[in-house]
Structure formats: C-alpha cells, structure tokens
Structure 1
Amino acid sequence: MTSTTSTTVTHKLQKESELRVEVGWDSSIRIQLIDGTAEIFGTELPPQCKLTFTAGLKFAIFTWDGATLEMEGSAEAYVADETPMVSYVNVHAILERRRARARAAAPPSSGTLPSSRVPDVTAQSQGPRVIVVGPSDSGKSSLTRMLLGWAARQGWKPTFVDLDIGQGSITIPGTLAASPIEMPIDPIEGIPLELPLVYFYGHTNPSANTDSYKALVKELARMLDVQFAANPDARAAGMVINTMGWVEGVGFELLLHGIESFNADVILVLGQEKLYSMLRDKFKSNPGMDIVKLHKSGGVVARSSKFRQRMRNVKTREYFYGLSNDLAPHAASISFNDVQVFRIGGGPQAPRSALPIGAEPTADPTRIVPVTISHDLLHSVLAVSYASEPDQLLISNVAGFIYVTEIDVARKRLSYVAPCPGPLPNNLLVAGSLLWVE
C-alpha cells in the first residue's frame, strides 16, 4: 500500500524486502536506520545517522535480514516483499569468482618494466566486462550501481562506464565517461569525481550524430584498454557499463557497437524478452559471451520527458554549484581572440567538383567545424578540451565545462561561469546542443 508521509513514520522491513521511495519536487526527506542492516543500490546505510534525500529522487532501501527505518518529511513510500535482488546478487557472486580468477592469472608486479617488455594482458587476467542493457525505465542504472557497490565492498576497484548520454551519472548529461569506483557509491552524493575520464558528445539524443557517438565510444574503450594494460588490479576488477534505453533500430546498432568496442563478455538484459532474443541470436557463435536475462524491479518508475529534462537541469546545476549549493562557481570573461569554439559535424564532406557526376555532397558527421562566437552561444554549456590541435577534438577527453552567461559582440567578450577560479586549462572549446538557464 502506498502512503505519503508528512511527519515522522517508522517502517519495519522483513528480510529480503525493500522500502520504495519517491521524493516530490517540492520536498525533501530524512531517513535514519534505527535497527538492523539495509542498503541503497548496494551501499550500506550507516546506523543511527540521518540522511537527507533531496527533491525528485526515486530509490529503494533493501534489507537482507530485516531493518527498522525512520522517515521524516513528505514522500510517497511503500514496502515491497517481491524483489529480484536474489538474482542480482547471484550475478554478483559469479562476477566475483571471475575477478578472483583474473587476479590469480595476473603476473606479479615487479616495478617498472624495461622498455622492451609490455605488461602481460592475457585473456585469463581480464576480469568481467559487464554491460547492462534494456529499454528506458528498466532499472539499468540501479543494477549498475548495485554491482559496482557490492564489488567495492569486497575490496575491488571496478571501472564504471556510463554510455547513457541522456542521464549523466558521472558528470553532466551529453557526455560519455568512465571512473574507477574505489568505495560504494554514496546514495546521496553519487559518484566521486576525482579521476573521471570524460568525453563530450554535446547532445542528449544519440540520433543527433551517431557517427560522433560511435567514435567517442571507441576512443573511450581504447583509453581504458591502455589503462588496464598498465594496471593489473583494475584489469582484474573489470568494468560495469551502463547504456541508453534506445534498443531498437539504430539504437540496437549503437548497442552492438558498444558491446564490441569494450569487448564485453557479460550482457545483462533487463525488462525485454525481444532484446534478449536479438542479442542471443547475434552472439550465438561466440562461446565466450554470456547473455543473462533478468527481471526488472517492480519499483522501477516510468519517467516522463519533462521529468528527464528536469533531472538533466539538476545534474548540470550540481556540476557548477554542488549537490547542496555548497560550491562557489567562478564568474569570468575572456576575449573572443583568446578562445576557439568548434562543433563536431557539419559542412560538406567534399566539393561538388570532387564528386562523381550527379552525386550530392553530404555532411561529414565527424568534421571539426569552427564556430563564430555570437549570441547563439548564450546559455550554452561548452566543454574545455584537452586537445592540442583542433583536429584532435573528436578523440580528446575534456577537462571540464563552462556555462556561457553573456556575449558582448561589440567588446568581443564572452562571459562564463566555471566551477573553479583561474584561467581555462585550454583555449579549445567544444559546443553541442546543450543549453542551461539558471
């Protein structure tokens, strides 16, 4: 039975049950674990500690052995005793055994290798590469966090790869990113941003430029392979990859591209029999591929396009101002002459004179196109690239983002907000279709 709490309510959970909570946009709640043990997406709740959950959050608190929770504030909440958690933790146990085998197969570290030698990166020393797939609102992000959290609790440091450009679990939406997970993900603050590897796609819809999306997926996978080759522990811990909810037509092609780019060997399919069947047929000749069908949780809530847009705005604001407005972003301005802005895609691929008779020039989706700074960039979120030259922008990761607050064409000044003071790390900026209005 669903209830809306407005004061303090105590919930007693029996073993292997969960409290499903939806916080409204105009409220926040505080939850305290009074007795027993419980977890949120694989992360244990600290006992006798009040945690504040902000507006718009939807989550479930699960207990294996029973727990008593106290909730203050207004939210929709109900207890469910039918969950797929046992099947999820069974998957975790199988992945644990694969990590242990990979660690045992890795050669002992002997310090710096001579230049003539390369690290042993045999298949036996590679931990599981898990990709979680399914349609929108099937619980992919939740399962991803659980698998990462359980692995971190066992002392592993798995790599989280986020290919869901519409959501932005690691940083702002419109990006592809990866980050090592050294401890269970904080249920409130989310994923720590100490060492993320981030690539800027610039759109929240993959259909805006599928070729660019593919190129970034491939480059992110390549960079992680380089890191894994030099880090046996990270290699043995493996990775867990979250994906988009677009799984039909071109979306299915992009999904296959991601599976192949990252050499995934475990596919977890949530919430759709058709997708499971399509993937099983696709990889039936690959004996090293495990495709596992899992039930989605009954607590998964369908999110409207309006809700998704609002959450994207929340994630962007968090980047500049922090989760609780605890950061002080830096306002600055810069001359048009001191920065260069580019877009990925556009422009003719070749002049008509260079094409066969009757052929029409087509847009090159991976072409680097200079952008004339104008009022069109107002309210844009721009990426600060690490590229040394413009032709490297497509395959270069980014240092961070700025938000354009004013364009003074007469004075040729661009005003912006950055998350920290100081000069920009680079003068090469990348624009997409991301806009944000405070």
Structure 2
Amino acid sequence: MSIPGLGQLLPQPTTSTTRIVALKRLSEWRFDASRSSSTGVKVRLISGTAERDGTELALNKTYTFVRTKSKILTWSGCTLEISGESQDYVTDFPVAEDSPMVSYLNLHFELQAQRKAAANATRRNRPGPRVMVCGPQNSGKTSLVRMLAALSTKMGGQPLVANLDPGEGLLSLPGTVSAAVFGNVMDIEEPAGGFGVGSTPSSGPSAVPVKLPIVYYFGREKVQDDVALWKDLTSKLASSVRAKFSEDDEVRSAGLVLDTPVATTNQSDIDSLVHAAREFAVNIVVVLGSARIESTLQQILGQEKTSSGEPISVIMLDQSEGVAARDNDFVKSIREASIKEYFFGDSKRTLSPSTQSVSFDDVAIFKTPDEEGYETPPVGQVLEPAEITAGMSHWTLAVMDASVNDPPETIRQAPVIGFIAVADVDEDRRRLKILSPVTSRLGNKPLVWGRWPEPYINLLG
C-alpha cells in the first residue's frame, strides 16, 4: 500500500534476512528496533550518502542499532543494506522539497550566517545564535536539536547543547538538566535516540569528544513536580552557559542549541518556556507541530529583545510525519539501560565500577521534605537530612560539588560531579554497600536522594 508522503509501508516486522533498501532523494528509512534482539539491527551504506540526525554514515561501515526508534535520511539518494528484525518503512515525497528536512537545513544555514557574524572581531561581545526548540510530545524536538548540533560540528563549530527536560539525559542520568560543548561528530549508534549517557565522560572514555558536561540535579521526572526548583536550576545552568561563552571564543561564536521539556498550551508550560528563553537570552525560538504554542510565544517573546538588543524570532516548522511515538515501556527501558550503562558501560566500552562498604556515619545524604501530611505538596523546599533505611536500596544518589557543611540551599543548587547507586542497606550493622564509577572515597561530598528515577533495577542482581 502506498500513502502520499509516506511511500511504501512495511507494517509487519521484517525477517532477519539481509535486504536492500533504495532511497530516493530527500527520503528516509524509518525504523523501530526497540524490541529487537540484543544483536540489534545492522545498517550498511552501500552507495550514495546518508545521515542520522545530521551525522553522516561512512560508506561500507556496518552500524548496529539497539533499543532505537530513529531514521536514516538521504539528501541525494542512497542504497542501504539492512539485516536484523525491525519494524520499518520508507518516507518519500512526490515533491522532494516538501520534506520538512528542507526547512531544517535552511534553519541551519541561517544559524551558520549568525555564527559567522559572531566570529567577526567587531562583534566579540555578542554570542552566536541561541536557538530554543520546543513542541508537544513526540514532535521530534530532540532529533532536531541533534541535527542542528551535528551540522554545526560538521562545519567546524563547537556549539553548546543544553537540555532542560529532566525526563531525558544529556550526557547524564535522567532527572537532571545539563549542558555540554560538542566539538566533534556524534555517535551514530547512540541507542537512546537522543543524547544518552553512553558517551558521557563522567562514566568512562568517550567515543565522541566533548568537554565535560555541566549537570544540575532535579531529581524529578517532570517540570510540574517542582516548578520553582526547575526554574532555579535553569537559571543556574544559563549562568554556567554564559560563563562558557565568556571564556571560549569558539564556543561563544558557535552559540547554543537548547532542548526543552514537552510543552502543552497550558499556562504553566508556556511560563516555563518563556522563563527558559529569557534566562538563556535566546534569539530564535523554534516551535514544532503546534500553531497555538507558536502563536502564544509570538505574542510574548516576539515583542521582546535579548539583553544584547537582538529581536527574538519565533518560527514554526513542520514536524516530521515519521516521528516515532515513544510509549512508557520504551522510555522505561531506555532509562534503565542508561543507568546501567553509566556504571557498567555498553557493548563498546566495558566499565568496572567500584563496590564500597561505608558506615552510615561516613555519608551525608539529603532529600527534600516528604510530601505526606501536606494538603499541598511542598514546592521549592530546601533539603533536609535523610534517614538511611532499607527503602533507599537500588536508588541512585547525586554526588554534589559542595561540602557537607554548606547550607542546604547551596547543596541543592550545586553542580553534580557524578552518581552512586545504593546496592544494599544493612540497618543492623549500619552499613551501606554503594556502587561508584570511580574507586575514590566520597570524602565530605554531600549526596542528594531525589524522587526520580525510581529504582527499577538491581544493578548487582
């Protein structure tokens, strides 16, 4: 069956036999390997050129995708060799220029023009473009962010990429907001389909050269779980980004690409987007797949200027028709895998985490006050000492770049230097068994116990 704009659909899982897929100009091979075997789906570019989210595939190199819903795009046509089980289909357009990828590429060209202007010696005080990408669930936000960042690095830039969605992880575990400089090509085989932790420098050697990420710990799944804390951490991250701009001219001229939480048209979500736009002084706001969000942001931000006096452009781009919906089971599996890979590595990098036994008296663990007993859940509360019980088993705790003697508010807003996992709690002996990516002791670094992600897995089981 052929559907305009989608081409030939393959609704049934393919067999594991090797097959050839020929793609026309500006068409895509979309695949769902989220439930495939551990061997994954293997893809080899036989002829032509192709890319995944802005990063080019090498000719005749085999790539393996596991736990992935994504796409391979060709601008000029290509032939792929596919092996392994997946659900897949080809998208093409009767008029190739109708592909939303054309508008994404045009956006990249506009960003490059602004980067060139920012690199001019007469404009050294003004950073390159700061573009914020937003939209509803499954609109393709993170894929566009990946694409824009990858195209910038391909042109020799070193863009800052920041993530404000605590449900995702940018070179960190979920439950954080973070930013990092991308100075080279991204990992095409990244399993999460976003910016997973598989290549984070904090968990081991990186296949994708980046500078150390800046990470702040939110400890919740959604912005709405503590809007005040999220806004505080967003402001802290924005301040760190400005510091990066001031100390590195190449990063400053390359600018920022900002990923945001899933947004609806309710006022709270709009307020959060406006807060992010102002804090990061973005001059381009891209909205995918929602005319109402675009119209609302246009009314608010379209009348403003950045701190550098630049007008703020709010534009709407079509979302890709082939964006894959990520159900709860898929998201959960990615989250579990990211935690495991942080400590143990993946198929490319095997890590050997340290297992330590520590006394209750040798660690300082903090948490936000419990919500029980409140008519309204406490919002933006400072931290309090946590009671160590068996209920802490299998949770991940953030190690904060602060001192245990610092005020709770200082600890709460401190950067994260890593994570540990609580493998076991022996209340009788008052001992904790912890799993750490490094062998060094915690010293006087405080630990923060968030409310999310919940302990789905036993890492030592």
TM-score (ref. length: structure 2): 0.85
Work out whether 1:377 is the aligned partner of 2:392.
yes
Q: Deviations over 1:2-61 (max 9, x none)?
A: 33332101111111111111114242111101111100000000111111111x201111
2:5 match:
none
Q: C-alpha separation between the residues in 1 aligned to 2:89 and 2:150?
A: 24
1:335 match:
359
1:94 to 102, 107, 110: 110
Q: C-alpha separation between the residues in 1 aligned to 2:281 and 2:367?
A: 29
- Consecutive unaligned residues of structure 1, counting only runs of 5 or more, are 108-120, 349-359
Kindly indicate whether the alpha-carbon contact (under 8 Å) linking 1:131 and 1:259 is maintained by their aligned counterparts in 2: yes
**1:333 Cα deviation after fit:** 1.6
Q: C-alpha separation between the residues in 2 aligned to 1:34 and 1:26?
A: 23
Work out whether 1:264 is the aligned partner of 2:282.
yes
Q: C-alpha separation between the residues in 2 aligned to 1:63 and 1:30?
A: 17
Kindly indicate whether the alpha-carbon contact (under 8 Å) linking 2:53 and 2:144 is maintained by their aligned counterparts in 1: yes
* Matched residue SS, 1:403: strand
2:88 to 77, 84, 88: 77
* Matched residue SS, 1:217: helix
Matches for 1:12-411 after TM superposition, within 5 Å: 12-27=22-37, 28-54=40-66, 56-82=67-93, 83-105=99-121, 122=125, 125-189=126-190, 192-194=199-201, 195-247=212-264, 248-286=266-304, 288-324=311-347, 326-344=350-368, 363=378, 365-388=380-403, 389-391=406-408, 392-411=410-429
* Matched residue SS, 1:147: helix
Kindly indicate whether the alpha-carbon contact (under 8 Å) linking 2:302 and 2:314 is maintained by their aligned counterparts in 1: no
Q: C-alpha separation between the residues in 2 aligned to 1:426 and 1:58?
A: 42
Kindly indicate whether the alpha-carbon contact (under 8 Å) linking 2:179 and 2:213 is maintained by their aligned counterparts in 1: yes
Q: C-alpha separation between the residues in 2 aligned to 1:14 and 1:308?
A: 32
* Matched residue SS, 2:89: strand
Kindly indicate whether the alpha-carbon contact (under 8 Å) linking 1:215 and 1:394 is maintained by their aligned counterparts in 2: no
Residue identity matched to 1:199: Y
**1:363 Cα deviation after fit:** 4.0
4+ residue segments displaced more than 3 Å = 189-192, 344-348, 360-364
**1:262 Cα deviation after fit:** 0.7
**1:316 Cα deviation after fit:** 1.5
**1:426 Cα deviation after fit:** 4.6
Moved more, 245-254 or 127-136: 245-254
Q: C-alpha separation between the residues in 2 aligned to 1:361 and 1:291?
A: 36
Q: C-alpha separation between the residues in 1 aligned to 2:429 and 2:122?
A: 60
Kindly indicate whether the alpha-carbon contact (under 8 Å) linking 1:10 and 1:69 is maintained by their aligned counterparts in 2: yes
Work out whether 1:9 is the aligned partner of 2:19.
yes
1:115 match:
none
Q: C-alpha separation between the residues in 1 aligned to 2:407 and 2:17?
A: 56
TM-score (ref. length: structure 1): 0.89
**1:223 Cα deviation after fit:** 1.2
How much identity, in percent, do the aligned residues show?
34
Moved more, 322-331 or 279-288: 322-331
* Matched residue SS, 1:186: coil
Residue identity matched to 2:48: G
**1:390 Cα deviation after fit:** 4.2
2:209 match:
none
Change in 2 beyond 3 A, CA 1:274/1:425: farther
* Matched residue SS, 2:316: strand
Q: C-alpha separation between the residues in 2 aligned to 1:362 and 1:88?
A: 41
Kindly indicate whether the alpha-carbon contact (under 8 Å) linking 1:408 and 1:414 is maintained by their aligned counterparts in 2: yes
Change in 2 beyond 3 A, CA 1:238/1:106: farther
**1:328 Cα deviation after fit:** 2.2
**1:311 Cα deviation after fit:** 1.9
- Consecutive unaligned residues of structure 2, counting only runs of 5 or more, are 1-7, 94-98, 202-211, 306-310
**1:284 Cα deviation after fit:** 3.1
Moved more, 165-174 or 386-395: 386-395
Q: Deviations over 1:206-227 (max 9, x none)?
A: 2221111111110011111112
Alignment coverage as a number of residue pairs: 411
**1:133 Cα deviation after fit:** 0.3
Q: C-alpha separation between the residues in 2 aligned to 1:43 and 1:362?
A: 44
Alignment root-mean-square deviation, CA:
2.0
1:355 match:
none
Kindly indicate whether the alpha-carbon contact (under 8 Å) linking 1:384 and 1:425 is maintained by their aligned counterparts in 2: no
Change in 2 beyond 3 A, CA 1:387/1:29: same
Residue identity matched to 2:328: S
Q: C-alpha separation between the residues in 2 aligned to 1:132 and 1:295?
A: 12
